[in-house]
Structure 1
Amino acid sequence: MVTTARDLARVSAIADYGVLDEEPPPDLRGVVQLAATLCAVSAAVINIIDDRHQHQIAAIGFEPDVCAREDSMCAAVFERGELVVVSDARTDARFATNPFVTGEIATVRLYASSPLVTPEGVPIGTLCVFGDEPGDLSLTQQEALGILATQIVDVLELSRLSRSLRVTNDRLTQVASQLGHDLRNPLSAVAGFLELAIDDPDLEKAPFAVEVLTRAESATARVMAMVSGLVDFARSEGAAPHAETVELSGVVSSVIDDLAKPLADSGARVTVSSDARLVADPSLLAVLLQNLIANAIKFTAAGGTTPHIVVGVEELDDGWRIAVDDNGPGIAPADRVRVFGRSQRAGTGAVPGLGIGLSTCQRIARAHGGGIGIDDSPSGGTRVWVALPRTRGESRG
């Protein structure tokens, strides 16, 4: 079971690489063969380790398979990000009772693994070599194993980029489309507030006019903050967000104000089931939550159900997990990776939109060093979760 923000970031990274849902890049088998040859062993494998399983996506010396994470030898060491070499696994406390050592699954003796670490620093698995007899690796062989592990990540990155760049657009067009999508709801709120002020027959009553126009002014200010945050984000190309301590309930409250019109039109309710003070870029967090809540309203209402959206946050040992739950039609498991691509949308074209909201959310989550994913909601619809790790050096509490 996923229990930490680090786990969530890993699950998100693995899903984005697509290696568990598609045929792995053919280059990987060649790298595994080279690893076995250089290390003078008969068996080598690339293991991808998620929250529940170890997936052997390319192997030499045996047929790749899937096993429970608790049975995996590599799961015991890969998160440390270090090369591991064990001459005889029977004498190592980490592995002595492992089924791959005892004979229940295999009889591994020589064991060596180098972690697969994404450019964002997230370990997702290992390049592992092993043999049925005790042995050792020279320093040269150990260095080669580390280099090949890096090459595997490079292959995965290239494969991911080739999929995400199927449609190439000018950078300015991309930024403009994102801004247009993310600003539509706040501007609708401004228009709605102003329309109320214009149409009200008692406009001369100053208190009401002042209240409406003040709300319009607040919405406009939030638009400006979101524009600034998104433009800075688009220009930064990987620079860290301007993180600070924020209260989730306050961010959700401002988002609800901006979504006043779609909320009123659909009869939707948005509640915060739990609150926390977390560390994030407040403008980008507002953009992320506005996208998720607006999507939940739009798709739930389109399915003929009055939307009820619940926003919660769970504090983890190394960060936070924000969850946005709805009671809509849900997203099929087969579509839960695809919908994060640019111009990709769940459902049919009957629901208006450009299909870039979840892509924007994914970029924001990753800019914070976290991840994003989709599960079933306890209310029967969709749960979109966002993992936000603590910043380095920040303590819990």
Structure 2
Amino acid sequence: MTTTLEDRARVDKIAQYELLDGPAPDDLDGLVQLAASVCGVPKAVINIIDDRHQHQVASVGFAPGVCSRKDSMCTAVLVEKRQIEVPDARFDDRFAANPFVTGEIALVRFYASSPLRTPDGIIIGTLCVFDDESGELKQSQSEALALLAGQVVDVLELRRLTRELGRSNEQLASFAGRVSHDLRNPLTALVGYLEIAADSPEMAQAPHSARAIAQAENAAGRMTAMVTDLLDYARVGGAQPKRDRVELTTVLGGALEDLDAAIRSSGATVVVDVDADLAVLGDPTLLRVVFQNLVANALKFAPQAGAAPFIEVTAQDTSLGVLVTVDDNGPGVPADERESVFELLARGSDTEAPGLGIGLSTCRHIVSAHGGGIGIDDAPAGGARVWVLLPAA
């Protein structure tokens, strides 16, 4: 089965809810029981559907299980993106041959299913009620099913935010304490020395040096602003990044300017193919941190046999938001490491690469705080493709 962009965004969102590795929360059991009662049927279930399977995470009237996505009746909800109600599935072309209807898995007759739609519009599964006998919902019952599906997502969001705030407060408060002295004080001194150099009479006779000093001042100023914003972000737990219109070419240009020396010293070619009017909704400083980290990461993992790094940054507007990809021609990331490399202080199997393993964790934290997603695939050139999905402005 081909994995689509929508599937990748869904899988990433499901992973954030941490639903599939343990028993369902009690509040989900309560909601699924309420759905069955309100709709007057003996069976109800909360289905989470990833790119390959349907996971029944909470149910009433039968024991929950896992089945292939191709066997799932609720895949139709992902396709049609709306609530579906069927009086008798045997006489509906979408379901007549489904194993849940034919008796191979079950004998479903009446079927109604409402999408679990996250705040950023991603459908991660369904709240489903069904019966072995035909039937139908009253208007009030149909509306109640949709309302309860919304309550399921509210529960998941509340649990996710509580979990992430707990983690981020602890990790970022510790990080803020470490960097406040180690970064801010040297930067303040550096800016002072650059100002002295820029004002010296010798600079009037050395225009190239004056330009270099001016560029260094700009870089130091941006870094100071970045550190200040990150420390403020850490102190509040990273819950409320700014929500400004951010032109991608501007934020990418700032990130590449900060990396100019590293790009030139590595002999890398960096190509940016982004429309000038493409914009996202977010915090410009934090998003610059994301793209600076991603390009720096691509530079760090150089291709084999002494070849120069080649990095391509593209962006496109999609139905789910703005998708930005950063491709490189390096060794790539093994499939079994593509999730773990986003953990704090985690590093891939290439332990010779420099760094402490903070960059990708920071990127995921910032992107998640913007309501977006981030992941890793194979790049067309054989290296890694890191994709970032952000809300459109």
Q: TM-score, normalised by structure 2?
A: 0.74
Label 1:166 to 1:320 Cα distance change in 2 as closer, same or farther (>3 A): closer
Report the equivalent of 2:73: 73
Matched, 1:378 2:380: yes
Determine the C-alpha separation between the residues in 2 that align with 1:43 and 1:177.
54
Report the equivalent of 1:345: 347
The answer (yes or no) to whether the contact 2:341–2:347 under 8 Å persists in 1 is: yes
Matched, 1:323 2:325: yes
Determine the C-alpha separation between the residues in 2 that align with 1:130 and 1:180.
60
Determine the C-alpha separation between the residues in 1 that align with 2:388 and 2:232.
21
Which residue identity is paired with 1:210?
A: A
Matched, 1:230 2:230: yes
Report the equivalent of 2:175: 174
Label 1:79 to 1:360 Cα distance change in 2 as closer, same or farther (>3 A): farther
The superposition leaves residues 160-205 of structure 1 with CA deviations (integer Å, 9 ceiling, x where unpaired) of: 9769967983653233568899x79xx7xx89x97xx99xxx9784
> Alpha-carbon deviation of 1:386?
0.5
Secondary structure at the counterpart of residue 224 of structure 1:
helix
Determine the C-alpha separation between the residues in 2 that align with 1:268 and 1:117.
42
Aligned alpha-carbon RMSD (Å): 4.5
After TM superposition, the structure 1 = structure 2 runs for residues 163-242 of structure 1, keeping only pairs within 5 Å, are 169=170, 171-176=172-177, 205-234=205-234, 235=236, 237-239=238-240, 241-242=242-243
Determine the C-alpha separation between the residues in 2 that align with 1:149 and 1:206.
65
Report the equivalent of 2:296: 294
Which residue identity is paired with 2:310?
A: H
Matched, 1:10 2:14: no
The answer (yes or no) to whether the contact 1:19–1:57 under 8 Å persists in 2 is: no
Matched, 1:47 2:44: no
Report the equivalent of 2:87: 87
> Alpha-carbon deviation of 1:323?
0.3
The answer (yes or no) to whether the contact 1:271–1:309 under 8 Å persists in 2 is: yes
The answer (yes or no) to whether the contact 1:252–1:286 under 8 Å persists in 2 is: yes
- More relative contact order in 1 or in 2 (CA 8 Å, sep 6+)? 1
Identical columns (%): 41
Secondary structure at the counterpart of residue 353 of structure 1:
coil
Report the equivalent of 2:29: 31
Which residue identity is paired with 1:49?
A: I
Report the equivalent of 1:252: 252
The answer (yes or no) to whether the contact 1:374–1:382 under 8 Å persists in 2 is: yes
> Alpha-carbon deviation of 1:144?
8.1
> Alpha-carbon deviation of 1:338?
2.0
Label 1:347 to 1:261 Cα distance change in 2 as closer, same or farther (>3 A): farther
Give the total of aligned pairs.
Answer: 375
Label 1:369 to 1:259 Cα distance change in 2 as closer, same or farther (>3 A): same
Secondary structure at the counterpart of residue 169 of structure 1:
helix
> Alpha-carbon deviation of 1:311?
0.8
Report the equivalent of 2:316: 314
> Alpha-carbon deviation of 1:324?
0.6
Matched, 1:56 2:55: yes
Residue range with higher mean Cα deviation, 81-90 or 254-263: 81-90
Label 1:86 to 1:357 Cα distance change in 2 as closer, same or farther (>3 A): same
After TM superposition, the structure 1 = structure 2 runs for residues 250-289 of structure 1, keeping only pairs within 5 Å, are 250-276=250-276, 277-281=278-282, 282-289=284-291
Determine the C-alpha separation between the residues in 1 that align with 2:279 and 2:8.
17
The answer (yes or no) to whether the contact 1:79–1:123 under 8 Å persists in 2 is: no
Determine the C-alpha separation between the residues in 2 that align with 1:74 and 1:134.
18
Residue range with higher mean Cα deviation, 159-168 or 352-361: 159-168
Label 1:67 to 1:342 Cα distance change in 2 as closer, same or farther (>3 A): same
Determine the C-alpha separation between the residues in 2 that align with 1:100 and 1:180.
62
The superposition leaves residues 254-299 of structure 1 with CA deviations (integer Å, 9 ceiling, x where unpaired) of: 2222113332343322211444522233322211100111111123
Report the equivalent of 2:244: 243
Determine the C-alpha separation between the residues in 2 that align with 1:346 and 1:308.
20
Structure 1 residues not aligned, in runs of 5+: 392-397
Label 1:43 to 1:54 Cα distance change in 2 as closer, same or farther (>3 A): farther
> Alpha-carbon deviation of 1:216?
0.7
Label 1:78 to 1:211 Cα distance change in 2 as closer, same or farther (>3 A): same
Residue range with higher mean Cα deviation, 237-246 or 216-225: 237-246
Label 1:36 to 1:216 Cα distance change in 2 as closer, same or farther (>3 A): closer
Report the equivalent of 2:357: 355
Determine the C-alpha separation between the residues in 2 that align with 1:298 and 1:3.
29
Determine the C-alpha separation between the residues in 1 that align with 2:247 and 2:347.
30
